[in-house]
Structure 1
């Protein structure tokens, strides 16, 4: 497995290209992601959204049409892709597949697990591929996603933190912004954030 990463747009949102067994998966194509993705894929298979915020889905529609691939989005965040709720002129996109809570997808033998961690958004999820967790805006290095936005929910975030802290394994974490980390490295920080919410 290989991981390519490129921060995109004003918010430096991490766009990832994950290549497994010759298949390229694009995670969170944000503002201006199209050219970079186009240059770095040879066999694109799917666009995977961790959640519906504009800086993670801005290039969904353009890339989907250009590469002729489907968009996979957490079911609860579908409305954000279609309605541009923050009024920023985001190009709307229509998910081809609405991912259910904690659903595992199978792409011709490549297993991709969506873990449901609401709080930052109603459908906020982290995507697990080969013991790597692409956490979107759920977990960052020494931090968590904000819960003071429209459609955020601090109580949901507390429950999501409890859920991930119950995992009895370590896992590498690649967040939606900033540097990579690991679950074991973040356990103390997550406990502190949970008490702060």
Structure 2
């Protein structure tokens, strides 16, 4: 598995391309992601959204149309793709697949699971491919996603942190912003964040 990463837009939102056996999955194509993605894929299979915030899904519509790809988005965040609730002028996109909590998929032999970790948004999910977890805005290096936005829920975030703290595997984490990390590296930080929620 090869992972390409490129921060996009003013918020430096990480867009990822995951390459396995000459096939690619695109995760969170944010502001201005289209050209970079098209330059780095030859056989893309799908667009995967960790959640619905504009800086993660901005290029959904353009990429979906130009590469003829289906969009997979957690069902509880789909309204953000269609309605641009923050009024940033984002082109609406429409998920082809509304992902259920903790749903699994098989993309031509590539197994993918959307782990549901609400809190930052209602549908916020971390996408697992092999031993990599694309955490969106759930977990960052030494931090977590904000819970003071519209549609955020601190109580849900607390449950989500407790849920992942039960994981016993030291999975690699590729967050929506900032540097890569790992679950074991973040466990103390996550426990500390529980005291602030």
Does the alignment reach a TM-score above 0.5?
yes
3-state secondary structure, aligned to 1:80: helix
3-state secondary structure, aligned to 1:15: strand
Map 1:33-44 to 2 at 5 A: 33-44=33-44
**1:17-46: per-residue Cα shift (whole Å, max 9, x none)?**
001122100000000000000000010110
Name 1:3's counterpart in structure 2: 3
Map 1:111-122 to 2 at 5 A: 111-122=111-122
- Please tell me whether residue 104 in structure 1 is matched to residue 104 in structure 2: yes
**TM-score normalised per structure 1:** 0.99
Separation in structure 2 between the aligned mates of residue 162 and residue 121 of structure 1, nearest angstrom: 17
* Equivalenced residues, count: 197
Separation in structure 1 between the aligned mates of residue 40 and residue 77 of structure 2, nearest angstrom: 27
Name 1:188's counterpart in structure 2: 188
- Please tell me whether residue 49 in structure 1 is matched to residue 49 in structure 2: yes
Separation in structure 1 between the aligned mates of residue 147 and residue 83 of structure 2, nearest angstrom: 20
**1:158-193: per-residue Cα shift (whole Å, max 9, x none)?**
000000000011100000000000000000000000
Separation in structure 2 between the aligned mates of residue 173 and residue 160 of structure 1, nearest angstrom: 15
Separation in structure 2 between the aligned mates of residue 133 and residue 27 of structure 1, nearest angstrom: 11
Deviation at 1:107, TM superposition (A): 0.9
3-state secondary structure, aligned to 1:81: helix
Name 1:60's counterpart in structure 2: 60
Divergent runs of 4+, >4 A: none
Separation in structure 1 between the aligned mates of residue 129 and residue 106 of structure 2, nearest angstrom: 11
Separation in structure 2 between the aligned mates of residue 101 and residue 195 of structure 1, nearest angstrom: 26
- Please tell me whether residue 132 in structure 1 is matched to residue 140 in structure 2: no
Name 1:142's counterpart in structure 2: 142
**1:51-87: per-residue Cα shift (whole Å, max 9, x none)?**
0000000000000000001000000000000000001
Map 1:15-94 to 2 at 5 A: 15-94=15-94
Separation in structure 1 between the aligned mates of residue 20 and residue 142 of structure 2, nearest angstrom: 28
Separation in structure 2 between the aligned mates of residue 41 and residue 26 of structure 1, nearest angstrom: 9
3-state secondary structure, aligned to 2:55: helix
**1:103-151: per-residue Cα shift (whole Å, max 9, x none)?**
0101121100110000000000000001100000000000000000000
**TM-score normalised per structure 2:** 0.99
Deviation at 1:195, TM superposition (A): 1.1
